[in-house]
Amino acid sequence: MIAKEKNSSKTAHPFEAPDYYLLDDLLSEEYILIRNSTRDWMNTHISPFINDWAQNNECPTHLVQEMGAQGFFGPSLPESYGCPGLDEISYGLIMQEIERVDSGIRSMASVQGSLVMYPIYKYGSEEQKQKYLPKLASGEMMGCFGLTEPDHGSNPGGMLSNFRDMGDHYLLNGSKTWISNSPFADIAVVWAKNENGRIQGLILERGMEGFSTPKIDNKWSLRASHTGELVFDNVKVPKENLLPNVIGLKGPLGCLDKARYGISWGAIGAAMDCYYTALRYAKERIQFDKPIAGYQLQQKKLAEMVTEITKMQLLSYRLGQLMNEGKATTQQISMAKRNNVAGALEIARESRQILGGMGITGDYSMMRHMMNLESVITYEGTHDIHLLITGMDITGISAFR
Ligand SMILES: Cc1cc2nc3c(=O)[nH]c(=O)nc-3n(C[C@H](O)[C@H](O)[C@H](O)COP(=O)(O)OP(=O)(O)OC[C@H]3O[C@@H](n4cnc5c(N)ncnc54)[C@H](O)[C@@H]3O)c2cc1C
């Protein structure tokens, strides 16, 4: 009986993942093991508490070392730096299972792995990799990624943050906003312009004089993830903290590719959870003497949801293969991020309606997924900008600059 179970928010409900096109047949035993162990960990450590954390705007920072031990941070980075050394499909499946429970927790993990560890791995010196990557992988250290500024969101190339060479150090000024993990991060990978107006990455450590990380409160979305600003007021940054191996916007955009790919899988997780919860509810909820799942209008919603999820799964799976082969393009990644997040948001909205009044409560996950996905559809490139990236790719003409 739903009413009886109507979950004490402390009870994780069982979950059967939709697999309409037998995608599991394409997954190796190792993939399934990774997916299932992530699912089990999330069911035990996050699901029972996530409603309360989100309601209270608490981020489970006490769990970051356990998340590190699970291999959630930088899953596809090499073992030589203390990382799991998995492939891109494994990484995607991990993101799917984390976001099945909550987009905020997935945001914390993907910022750490794709936007902090990846740029250090890809663009950092050997000393920087040795110093930071093992600690970031284990969760002993947490990081954030500073690209967006108050007046430069979709157009990060216009950023005002800048640094000057002072001989034995750099002097950094400016600010960033909407930065996931900033209020508690130990380090920040910050993108700023050098004296020639070229964008470069710097690693900042908490405690540097003039560096502060005010929290952004009053969010209705990603409430179990902390978001904040980064403020640089004449921060002296040691020269060895400059990422030496990239210059220009391609630095931050390269990391965003990696993160957006993970988001395409994460969105599938949120969509699966909404669909499964609605299906289960619709089969048990009786109105006019029969289950509401027996009415055509509800079947239409459910049938469209499972169709969308199937398309999303196939898109991300194929993209994962291309990522593994080093063939995925930024534009292909844009398409998957945009399609899957929009699909998940629509599924969250429709599934919430299937639950009627119960759908707005914290006893079920849809309202939280729906609010979370409003951020996911905006960050890492908005829904509009990703469409324009596809448009530019197929026509050869940019419509956004
Ligand atoms: C919860 C949360 C967490 C975030 N975490 C991070 C983080 O960790 N690090 C980080 O650097 N950033 C982060 N962001 C910032 C995020 O990436 C930006 O919000 C996003 O890039 C959009 O920028 P903006 O909010 O300034 O919107 P704007 O760029 O001002 O866009 C406003 C609207 O205008 C549209 N628009 C803009 N330009 C065009 C155009 N040329 N043509 C058509 N339409 C256009 C957009 O699609 C959008 O609908 C986060 C944001 C949120 C909400």
DSSP string, 31-48: HHHHHHHHHHHHHHHTHH
Answer for the pair 161, 149: CB distance below 8 angstroms, yes or no: yes
What is the structure's pLDDT at 401? 85
With 0-12 CB in 10 A as exposed, 13-18 as middle and 19+ as buried, what is 291?
middle
Query: Is residue 150 within 6 Å of ligand 1 at its C-beta?
Result: no
Say if strands 199-205 and 187-193 run parallel, antiparallel, or are unpaired.
antiparallel
Answer for the pair 143, 136: CB distance below 8 angstroms, yes or no: yes
Query: Is residue 146 within 6 Å of ligand 1 at its C-beta?
Result: yes
Q: Which token pair is 258?
A: 């990696």
Atom of ligand 1 nearest to the CA of 150: 26
Per-residue pLDDT of the chain (401 residues; tens, 9 = 90+): 333 333 333 344 567 889 999 999 999 999 999 999 999 999 999 999 999 999 999 999 999 999 999 999 999 999 999 999 999 999 999 999 999 999 999 999 999 999 999 999 999 999 999 999 999 999 999 999 999 999 999 999 999 999 999 999 999 999 999 999 999 999 999 999 999 999 999 999 999 999 999 999 999 999 999 999 999 999 999 999 999 999 999 999 999 999 999 999 999 999 999 999 999 999 999 999 999 999 999 999 999 999 999 999 999 999 999 999 999 999 999 999 999 999 999 999 999 999 999 999 999 999 999 999 999 999 999 999 999 999 999 999 999 98
What is the structure's pLDDT at 15? 76
Query: Is residue 400 within 6 Å of ligand 1 at its C-beta?
Result: yes
From the CA of 62, how far away is ligand 1's center (Å)?
Answer: 29
Q: Which token pair is 164?
A: 């000057």
Sign of CA dihedral 249, 165, 132, 178: negative
Does residue 95 sit in helix, strand or coil? helix
What is the structure's pLDDT at 14? 60
| Long-range contact set of residues 389-396: C-beta below 8 Å, sequence gap at least 24 | 389/330, 389/331, 389/334, 390/331, 390/334, 390/335, 390/338, 392/331, 393/329, 393/331
* Separation between Cα atoms, residue 52 and residue 9, nearest integer Å: 7
Query: Is residue 165 within 6 Å of ligand 1 at its C-beta?
Result: no
Sorted by sequence, the CB contacts under 8 Å of residue 293 that are 6+ apart come out as 279, 282, 283, 285, 299, 302
Q: Ligand 1 pocket test: pick from 102, 105, 154, 400 the residue with the most ligand atoms within 8 Å of its Cβ.
A: 154
| Long-range contact set of residues 322-325: C-beta below 8 Å, sequence gap at least 24 | 323/88, 323/89, 323/261, 324/87, 324/88, 324/89
Does residue 229 sit in helix, strand or coil? strand
What is the structure's pLDDT at 9? 39
Query: Is residue 180 within 6 Å of ligand 1 at its C-beta?
Result: yes
* Separation between Cα atoms, residue 298 and residue 118, nearest integer Å: 43
Atom of ligand 1 nearest to the CA of 111: 8
CA distances from 122 to 38, 64, 78, 90 (A): 26, 23, 11, 20
How many CB atoms neighbour CB 96 within 10 A? 27
- Of 297, 171, 173, 226, give the one whose Cα is nearest residue 60: 226
Residues tagged active-site: 380
In the DSSP assignment, the letter for residue 215 is B
Taking CA atoms only, the protein residue closest to ligand 1 atom 17 is 379
- Of 384, 359, 367, 376, give the one whose Cα is nearest residue 285: 359
Answer for the pair 219, 245: CB distance below 8 angstroms, yes or no: no
